[in-house]
A and B are shown apart, each in its own frame.
Chain A
């Protein structure tokens, strides 16, 4: 089963969609998400959501659908609304924008769009809050803190490679 992964880098930052993992269930998916997306980069929290539970619309799809009254097609409850605001970021997709109470994802999106005002979006995702499986805040120390001591290394940082290159140039 495929799960979408949302990573939060700092308390002031939103959860952002960073990619997907396979997992037999939520716990497995969270562990794999940490291994794949949280070993080096900064993180303080991760969410996973079953990919088939995500309601997604692009700006083009919304334009083609309109005008149509939002359909109360799901559970009355809290929905997380995510938006992709620009093409500038290549490593993330949508960002967590707001939470709304609604009776289904399409209604939640309509509420969010009305509230977002003039701010355009290229794509939108809506997730029932009950479908979110989050990392345990108490576990953050063992899940995310060690990343601070690990660094990315470019090939050029290894002295051996430089020595080889110099030798090749000399030869």
Chain B
């Protein structure tokens, strides 16, 4: 890989890792607050899995530039993150959290299937590993979206409110990065041009089964990953607080 392609891959990996890390953190905010014990455990599991995927992507990046995943997660300033607005929003209510996680799982299932065929072997291997448990995630979050969509008046009202807030930002999650074309030319990203359409179609089909209609497709807006939004700042302030007080963790 030449320097340009490597740079593009580092950006791609960082964006994916940051999305997983921030979404995992938002999910983890439910720990101890879940609606019943089993769901509390379940969401903590999903949160750990997403943070685990972030570790995978940071790890592939580390092989390229020698960066330290812990430092990237806990020592980086908000303006250095490449997360999208979709994952940064506060956790909201149960319907919002589960719908967001479901939409993210739908995106991830499509993305991982493509990344598993990457010409960059470490990326393909990491994608293959993450892919298996993502199918289980989809079962769990899909079950909830359907039940909440077809459930009571209140669950339906909350689901529709969540969809209204999340759907316009969904395009930002799946939008290509500026360097993606270079990666597509080098077969590091395969079949990537079809990703966005496939994700939206798959999400629509599942939402229709829950009688949730998002209306028109989200406008294909740029992801604006280089913009520091207040929610990102607030999330990182909490997540990095302990590490900032004691970066080496040598005293309680």
Contacts and interface: CB of A to CB of B under 8 A. Distances in A.
* Residue among B37, B133, B143 with the highest chain A CB neighbour number at 10 A: B133
Contacts of B154: none
B132 A21 contact: no
Contacts, number: 51
Contact of A31 (B37, B140, B249, B250): B140
A35 B249 contact: no
B38 A32 contact: yes
Interface in A135-171: 139, 141-143, 145-146, 149, 160, 163-164, 167
Interface in A10-55: 21-24, 27-28, 31-32, 34-36, 39
Nearest to B252: A164
Contacts of A21: 38
B133 A142 contact: yes
Given A142-B133, A146-B133, A160 B249 contact: yes
Interface residues of B, number: 21
Interface in B125-140: 129, 132-136, 139-140
Prevailing SS type, chain A contact patch: helix
12 contacts: A21-B38, A23-B38, A27-B143, A28-B143, A34-B136, A36-B38, A139-B135, A142-B132, A142-B139, A164-B251, A164-B252, A167-B250
Interface of B: 36-39, 41-42, 45, 129, 132-136, 139-140, 143, 147, 249-252
